[in-house]
Structure 1
Amino acid sequence: MKIQTKIAIQFSLIVGSLLAVFSFVIYQLFAEFRQQEYYDRLKSKAITTAQLLIKVDEIDRNLLKIIDKNTLTALVDEKVLVFNQHNKLFYSSLDDHVINYSKDLLNRVRKEKYVETNAGDNELVGLLYELNGHHYVILASAYDKFGRSKMANLRDILYTGLIVGIMLTILLGVFFAGNALGPVNQFISQISTITANNLRERLDERNEKDEIGQLAAAFNKMMYRLEQSFELQRSFVSHASHELRTPLAALKSEVEISLDENLNVAQHRGILQNIRKDIDRLIALSNSLLQIVRPLKSKINNTSEVRIDDVVFQAQDELLLSKPDYRISVEYAREPENEKHIIVLGDEPLLKTVFTNLMSNACKYSSNHLALVVIDFNETHTLVSIQDEGIGIPPEDFTAIFEPFYRSRNALTISGFGVGLSVCKKILELHQGKIHVKSKQGKGSIFTVELPHIS
């Protein structure tokens, strides 16, 4: 079932229920008002009859009957009975019409002094009238012809209004649901045309304050991230293919030379040494590719508390073990009074990869192979700066150096694949961190890592 149909049905049910409840309440209130008003008229009639019959000596029963028959305000099927204190019928307004009553009703009136009830279709009022120590019971009954006619008319009006209201609600619900979901249908049409070849397509965001606009904005942001991912994938494949082609071509050439020519042992040894260098290059490239893939696949689901200084020292030890000619100095900008200032939530191996890459770059691109690491903090973040005195980075390359396989022009003569900084940035993004760079060409660079601490 379409959302438009669901909304129309739900809207119709809600409004129809409200109309039905409203109509029922109106009818019940009006019915109670009509009945109470008629009971008041019967009560007034009973009291008037009792006063004329009992208190006024000049009016006897026959005269009162004549008055009752000829009064202009007589009610439909009006009957009034008066009983003395022994429950004997003392007066009847109409001899040919008798109110059906019982002794229980008379006793109830004497006990409660005032009773409102029904006698068939008629309303009946019973009251106790006291005069000179005598207690009379007056029963007054009549049929509310005009009131019931009004109730029937009101019922018909409410039924008709309810049916018409529900029909209009259904029509308006379908119309407004379709109108409200119109942009969604347009989005569906636009989305169905988007393929891997036209990821630059965007939805019309219209009014960003309503949910439809927010949905379009969220979708456009998702499309932007998807486009960036596709571009990154294309760039990754392109650069990886390029980087792989060179050592593979060299390997093929070396093997062909060794097969096609008659070479002595020394020449074969030289070819094998070249092959080993190319294989080492392929291994290094494979490790670099794995470094790119690993943070992309990580979700940092199982985070733990990690001391940044411990991670830095571990990265220092491992790097110096593999590169004995590197020199790395680690110091604190200030002693942390609260150790939480240098503790973050994250994946320790990934964070160690960040500092290993940054310290390795600092040493590799410096002629003295020296890197200075400074650990600091502020109210919200732990800061780690890696400084070198190397070749520096041209200003125009500041934003591009974090792209996979990108290398500055002044670094092309130094071995590497250009993947370390992109890996660092991705890992830090997974940890809600940032990386900043300051550099002067020929003077050196400072890379600063910011990670939110647990304090």
Structure 2
Amino acid sequence: MTLKNRISLLVSLLFTVLFGLASAFIFILYSNFRKQEFNDRLEIKALSTIKLLANVKDIDYKIMKLIDKNSINELYDEKTLIFDADFNLIYSSIDDAKIKWSVTDLRFLKNHKTFFKKQGDREFYGVFFDTRAKDYYVLITANDSYGKRKLVYLEYILIISYVLFTALCWILTSFTVKKIMQPLSSFHQKIKNINENNLDTRVEVKSNKNEIDLIANEFNFMMDRIEVSYEKQKEFTANASHELRTPLSRIISQIENKIDSDTIDSGSKSFLNTILTDVNHLTELIHSLLILSKLDTKRYENKEPNRLDEILFTAIEKLNKTFPDFVILFDIEENENLDAALEIRGNKKLLEIALSNILKNACVYSDNKQAKVTISCKEKNLIINVSNTGKTLDEKEQKNLFQPFMRGKNANGTSGFGLGLRIVQRILTLHKATITYSVPNKNTNLFQLIFHF
């Protein structure tokens, strides 16, 4: 999981939990408040009834019922029972009231003065009133339907609010974190695209007030040092290769003159030819290293349009001069986009080197001195397939095929240094193209060059 998604998830979960706890806390507080408020109402009702009994002598219970009937709130459905000191019922606000009570409740009242309990949907409040003349026990029961409706309404509001605002929080958190982390995403994309060909890439720094910009600033300093070191390394390789070519050219010239001389015997000529072959191989190696050291320099950034088929024909002609017995079978698939696809912007000289190396590789490792070249166009890609028959590479060798100085088991008995395919890959990378190797059939090597247009 990415850091961006992890932050979004943690913030959203934190809000979800906190909002859920807050909603539950509000619901519990209001539920207790309703209960206490209803309890106070029943207590006031009980005390007012007892005071009426205690303060009015010879009160008429019919009048009391009339008073209760006019004062009872239908929303609460109140019922009142009054008992004397012997636990005898002396007053009931409604004659047909069915209220469950027991002597145990009244004895509990005498010891504890008050109690509050719930039976089903109804709630009971009891109070013991001790006067000088008489003792009274009052039981009041009611159904707080109005308060319960408000409690249910609050519950619905909290649930809907919880679902709505939680979903909104997840969306807004994801959007906000994505926007905040956008500089880090751009930073990551820049780093991802950096290779040996664009070490001059730098990350834009808008300010030094946040951690991302501070990291980007330090990254730019690091890239400055890496670029300087890399340029010095390339410069040394190029200078060393260039300086070595001059004495090697002189050695080759002197050996060739000596071989052409009539003053040495055949044994010495054979010995000198062996030395000449080794020196030529050394010269070729130095030339390859020189090409690798200069591939990503600015002077090769030529974006002139070139016909890739013309470059391929030129490479084939040069190869035929070196390997006159080698046969190349050429095929171009018909496609309406082919002409536009063959127009490649890039460096003509480098593209010729890349195609020459691929064709030379097909020639050297072919078992019948033949190779097949196919040009096709698929979607937005120009594809050049170069295949030959011969020994193929195993999976382990294929993974390291484009590494410097890599030579497979099929290279036994052939000359080379393992730099040709590396050069091809570097040149194609400069032109934003790719190369792949596969074994489509038994004893068949296939190189596929893909150019995007």
TM-score (norm 2): 0.51
- Between the aligned partners of 1:54 and 1:168, the Cα distance in structure 2 is 61
- Between the aligned partners of 1:229 and 1:90, the Cα distance in structure 2 is 107
Q: Is the 8 A contact 1:114 1:126 kept in 2?
A: yes
Q: Per-residue deviation at 1:133?
A: 5.5
- Between the aligned partners of 1:59 and 1:190, the Cα distance in structure 2 is 95
- Between the aligned partners of 1:190 and 1:29, the Cα distance in structure 2 is 54
2:214 maps to 214
Q: Per-residue deviation at 1:110?
A: 1.6
- Between the aligned partners of 1:154 and 1:169, the Cα distance in structure 2 is 21
- Between the aligned partners of 1:158 and 1:84, the Cα distance in structure 2 is 47
2:41 maps to 41
Q: Is the 8 A contact 1:80 1:138 kept in 2?
A: yes
Aligned-partner SS, 2:96: coil
2:146 maps to 146
- Between the aligned partners of 1:116 and 1:236, the Cα distance in structure 2 is 96
1:188 maps to 188
> Cα gap change, 1:97/1:212 in structure 2, threshold over 3 Å: closer, same or farther?
same
- Between the aligned partners of 1:244 and 1:60, the Cα distance in structure 2 is 132
> Cα gap change, 1:214/1:104 in structure 2, threshold over 3 Å: closer, same or farther?
farther
Q: Is the 8 A contact 1:46 1:138 kept in 2?
A: yes
Equivalent residue letter for 2:189: S
Equivalent residue letter for 2:24: F
Equivalent residue letter for 1:3: L
Q: Per-residue deviation at 1:29?
A: 0.9
Q: Identity over the aligned pairs, expressed in percent? A: 35
Aligned-partner SS, 2:86: coil
1:70 maps to 70
Aligned-partner SS, 2:166: helix
Q: Determine whether 1:135 maps to 2:135.
A: yes
Q: Per-residue deviation at 1:53?
A: 2.0
Q: Is the 8 A contact 1:53 1:61 kept in 2?
A: no
Aligned-partner SS, 2:90: strand
Alpha-carbon deviations, 1:257-279, whole Å to 9, x = none? xx99xxxxxxxxxxxxxxxxxxx
- Between the aligned partners of 1:3 and 1:48, the Cα distance in structure 2 is 67
Q: Per-residue deviation at 1:242?
A: 8.5
- Between the aligned partners of 1:232 and 1:102, the Cα distance in structure 2 is 103
Map 1:53-452 to 2 at 5 A. Answer: 53-71=53-71, 73=73, 76-132=76-132, 134-235=134-235, 237=237
Aligned-partner SS, 2:169: helix
Q: Determine whether 1:20 maps to 2:20.
A: yes
> Cα gap change, 1:241/1:76 in structure 2, threshold over 3 Å: closer, same or farther?
same
Aligned-partner SS, 1:196: coil
Alpha-carbon deviations, 1:27-52, whole Å to 9, x = none? 11111111101100000000011111
Q: Is the 8 A contact 1:79 1:98 kept in 2?
A: no
Q: Per-residue deviation at 1:123?
A: 1.9
> Cα gap change, 1:83/1:71 in structure 2, threshold over 3 Å: closer, same or farther?
same
Aligned-partner SS, 1:59: coil
Aligned-pair Cα RMSD in Å:
3.1
Q: Is the 8 A contact 1:15 1:166 kept in 2?
A: yes
Q: Is the 8 A contact 1:53 1:64 kept in 2?
A: no
Aligned-partner SS, 1:97: coil
Aligned-partner SS, 2:200: coil
Q: Per-residue deviation at 1:144?
A: 0.9
Gaps in structure 2 of 5+ consecutive residues: 260-453
> Cα gap change, 1:97/1:130 in structure 2, threshold over 3 Å: closer, same or farther?
same
Alpha-carbon deviations, 1:49-88, whole Å to 9, x = none? 1111233114222221121112265652211111222222
The answer to which of 234-243 and 171-180 deviates more is: 234-243
Q: Determine whether 1:9 maps to 2:12.
A: no
- Between the aligned partners of 1:156 and 1:55, the Cα distance in structure 2 is 47
Aligned-partner SS, 1:173: helix
- Between the aligned partners of 2:227 and 2:133, the Cα distance in structure 1 is 103
Q: Per-residue deviation at 1:177?
A: 1.9
- Between the aligned partners of 1:36 and 1:116, the Cα distance in structure 2 is 10
How many equivalent residue pairs? 257
Equivalent residue letter for 2:138: I
Q: Is the 8 A contact 1:19 1:162 kept in 2?
A: yes
Equivalent residue letter for 1:99: I
Q: Per-residue deviation at 1:16?
A: 1.4
Equivalent residue letter for 1:182: Q
Aligned-partner SS, 1:30: helix
Equivalent residue letter for 1:149: R
- Between the aligned partners of 2:32 and 2:214, the Cα distance in structure 1 is 52
- Between the aligned partners of 1:241 and 1:135, the Cα distance in structure 2 is 120
Aligned-partner SS, 1:95: coil
Q: Per-residue deviation at 1:148?
A: 0.9
- Between the aligned partners of 1:32 and 1:135, the Cα distance in structure 2 is 31
Q: Per-residue deviation at 1:194?
A: 1.8
> Cα gap change, 1:104/1:222 in structure 2, threshold over 3 Å: closer, same or farther?
farther
1:340 maps to none
1:409 maps to none
